Structure 1
Amino acid sequence: MSDTLTPPMQSADCWTRREIWQQPQTLNETQRLLRDNQGEIERFLRPLMEKTNLRIVLTGAGTSAFIGECLAPWLSRETGRRVEAVATTDIVSAPDLYCEGDTPTLLVSFGRSGNSPESIAAADIAAAKISDLHHLVITCNPDGALARDPGTHSHVVVLPKATHDHGFAMTSSFSAMMLAALSILSGVAALETRIDAICQAVSDILHNADTAMADLAQRNFSRVVYLGSGVFEGLARESALKLLELTDGGIVTAFDTPMGFRHGPKTFVTTETLVMVYVSNDPYTARYDRDLIAELRADNIAAGIVTLSAKAEADDTIAVRNLGGACDADLLFPYIVPAQLFALHASLARGMTPDTPNATGTVNRVVQGVHIHPLNP
């Protein structure tokens, strides 16, 4: 597979489109960077991972927080350590609920810019509240506050320059930071054997799903819901945010698990609703995913149902090839692509500028207007 992937020419080219399409390259470059720095990373992590009572907190705001939600369940099982996703916005607003002073903690901070006020404050608060704290920063910006001053007992990983997205919505920055955390915390060498298949799957989906997502965007759905089990619940949340951001709130979005969706949220489905379902590779979990898909089809209410699967059945909308034996964590990378493409095309279909979709200017690429209050004495 070539490292460089060029999107089909469009009259409305933009950074967002280029950054979606560059993901096979940026994922490959991210893993290469980690491989080149593997020794240094392992020297930082090894003594921490030897602590059986280590707590690993994956943190960020918005999309960066959803990286943690995607990875925490899988990494918890793989590392045998307590791995939790806690948003910086939660750490800052309610520190006593989320900071355990006597528990050895590795705080893993994700930041595209590394300049969000909550990201900086969360690190400061954790340092003040937790006696044995170490800090791993994964960022796309070498000049951001997190990269320049991460505090003591820290290690900074700055990802390739191209991952520092110019667009408003995080796309390649999301996937690259997620790959970095997956590789670092589950083993750079282990990911090395899987990276080519992951990148090829992302490349295939870009080519195979782009036209389908553009056609769906023309159908003018008023509502879209994303559903996923396990690691895909976090991905469903990120998918919903991408569409909300790139259409400036013009399409109402929701997310849930297939099992949880029946418990009230299913009322979201109308004759103007698109449902997108991420099917697990775990055979047991997939049974529940398929049950809900069959139920939605039998209801015959939803305007459209899109299913993604690496163990595709005949009626699946999008098949992820050559990852039928992969763990669900590896599927996170190709599965996010159709949601990103649909959000981009929905934005363009509404005559919007995807790189700067918020017409009022009240929502910014790097959050503004946050006042960080001093900790209570």
Structure 2
Amino acid sequence: MPDPISALLALPEAEREARGLRDTPGEIAQQPETWRETAERLIGLRSELEAFLTEVLRVELGAAAPVVILVGAGTSDYIGRAVSRVLRQRWGCEVQAVPSTELLTNFDDFVLPERRYLFVSFSRSGESSEGVAVLAQALERYGRQVRHLVITCNAQGAMAKFPGVFTVELDARVNDRGLAMTSSFTNMVLAGIFLGFVTDTELYARNVAALADAGARVLPQVATVSETLADQGFSRMCFLGSGCLQAVADESSLKVLELNAGKIPTIAQSALGLRHGPLSFVDEKTLVVAFLSGDELRQQYELDLLEEIREKQLGGGILVMTPQRLERLEALTPHVIDLQLPAGFPDAFRPPVDVLAGQLLGLFFSIRNGIPPDAPSTGAISRVVSHVKIYNSAVRSR
């Protein structure tokens, strides 16, 4: 008997079209294969990327190191949050994720005189109003004080065509046609991580290979569990992650919300943050989803919280994504996805495989709720936010 995602892909084309399943299931299912292709594509750009980054990130005598700002909106902002820590460690400079929706109206809060900057912008379409405006206004206002690198899935998008901008164009295959970003998120995360590994492509390739193996292995399992949980009457979800996996919790929360047209309320928190108020969200109809860190210290805090949730009889169920199976999980929940990653596998590379849980829960809950996954919104949101009226900073002087 095929797993639920394979069963969806085997449906007649006319039925998939009628149910709003033409794009999203396939875009989720293709991801492990696309990760290998993206890694090869990026490694082919190594020389040009290394030359650009060496020039932009150099530390001049007597000057402060450049500041790196990772820019995106919605899911693309979560890409920046997912990769900011590993880039900070690899580059040894200040790296922060700032949403384009925040940066556009607050340039002066982030860009200081006499400091050099690199803006790394992530965009599936390269057409979002705020992303295009941030690029255009930063180029106009700051010139070469702020350098730019764009990572996009659309070579024809406006952001890919700005002069003086280094652009990394991913394969059109990962430019999702469905409303929700799935393949585009995971592949742009891998592109963002690669920026920190241009001088160690062998380690990068090895980690991506292990990631793709894990993804291909667990995707049918996660689909089966997600379909099962969708039939159990949960009406809200709480996603938990620490370190870079908190970005996975954020993105998973958004995926379920988007794909279910807002009918499933969600929150995302760190293990230590949940107790400080948001735990009140968790009731008997809540599915708690935890992305368990491979770091032993973080893991202890996370397991303590899950045990507390179980002891207090909070939450209707728990799903855990874990790098390796642990004894403490056995008494907590039957829903454990063991990624079987190599010992010591870095959390920094895990967002693409862990987020499969959020994507597939969103997919199967939307099907259960009678909502077409390819176009779940009735007009509130759209695939590309390109209708925002943009104002120049000169408006402040009026």
TM-score range, shorter chain: over 0.9
Q: Secondary structure at the match of 1:249?
A: coil
In the TM superposition, what is the alpha-carbon distance from 1:362 to its structure 2 partner? 2.5
Distance 1:129 1:255 in 2: 36
Q: TM-score, normalised on structure 1?
A: 0.94
CA contact (8 A) 2:57 2:65 kept: no
In the TM superposition, what is the alpha-carbon distance from 1:65 to its structure 2 partner? 0.5
Residue correspondence of structure 1 range 194-273 to structure 2 within 5 A: 194-273=207-286
2:299 to 273, 277, 286: 286
In the TM superposition, what is the alpha-carbon distance from 1:132 to its structure 2 partner? 1.4
1:3 is matched with: none
1:17 to 25, 29, 37: 25
In the TM superposition, what is the alpha-carbon distance from 1:81 to its structure 2 partner? 1.1
Question: Which segment is superposed worse, 245-254 or 313-322?
Answer: 313-322
2:349 is matched with: 330
Distance 2:341 2:220 in 1: 15
1:349 to 346, 364, 368: 368
In the TM superposition, what is the alpha-carbon distance from 1:312 to its structure 2 partner? 1.8
Alignment-mate amino acid for residue 228 of structure 2: D
CA contact (8 A) 2:36 2:212 kept: yes
Distance 2:345 2:141 in 1: 39
Alignment-mate amino acid for residue 304 of structure 1: G
Distance 2:175 2:215 in 1: 19
1:374 is matched with: 392
Q: Where in structure 2 are there 5+ consecutive unaligned residues? A: none
1:192 is matched with: 205
Higher radius of gyration, 1 or 2: 2
Alignment-mate amino acid for residue 387 of structure 2: G
Task: Say whether residues 1:58 and 2:70 are aligned partners.
Answer: yes
1:104 is matched with: 116
CA contact (8 A) 2:87 2:195 kept: no
Task: Say whether residues 1:8 and 2:6 are aligned partners.
Answer: yes
Distance 1:84 1:67 in 2: 12
In the TM superposition, what is the alpha-carbon distance from 1:7 to its structure 2 partner? 4.6
Query: CA 1:60–1:40 in 2, change beyond 3 Å: closer, same or farther?
Result: same
Distance 2:140 2:277 in 1: 41
CA contact (8 A) 2:5 2:223 kept: no
2:381 is matched with: 363
> Percent same amino acid at aligned positions?
34
Q: TM-score, normalised on structure 2?
A: 0.89
1:119 to 124, 127, 131: 131
CA contact (8 A) 1:90 1:98 kept: no
Q: Secondary structure at the match of 1:9?
A: helix
CA contact (8 A) 2:86 2:193 kept: no
In the TM superposition, what is the alpha-carbon distance from 1:127 to its structure 2 partner? 2.5
1:47 is matched with: 55
The root-mean-square deviation of aligned C-alpha atoms, in Å, is: 1.6
1:178 to 189, 192, 202: 189
Query: CA 1:129–1:290 in 2, change beyond 3 Å: closer, same or farther?
Result: farther
Task: Say whether residues 1:93 and 2:101 are aligned partners.
Answer: no
Q: Secondary structure at the match of 2:325?
A: coil
2:170 is matched with: 159
Distance 1:294 1:115 in 2: 45
Distance 1:81 1:143 in 2: 32
Question: Which segment is superposed worse, 95-104 or 231-240?
Answer: 95-104
Residue correspondence of structure 1 range 291-302 to structure 2 within 5 A: 291-302=304-315
Alignment coverage as a number of residue pairs: 369
Distance 1:333 1:363 in 2: 24
Distance 2:114 2:236 in 1: 45
Q: Secondary structure at the match of 1:194?
A: helix
Distance 1:139 1:66 in 2: 15
Superposed CA offset, 1:197-222 (max 9, x none): 01111111202211111111112311
CA contact (8 A) 1:323 1:331 kept: no
Distance 1:48 1:94 in 2: 23
Distance 1:196 1:251 in 2: 34
Alignment-mate amino acid for residue 87 of structure 1: P
Distance 1:175 1:102 in 2: 35
Alignment-mate amino acid for residue 174 of structure 1: F
2:83 to 71, 76, 94: 71
In the TM superposition, what is the alpha-carbon distance from 1:103 to its structure 2 partner? 1.5
Distance 1:233 1:325 in 2: 19
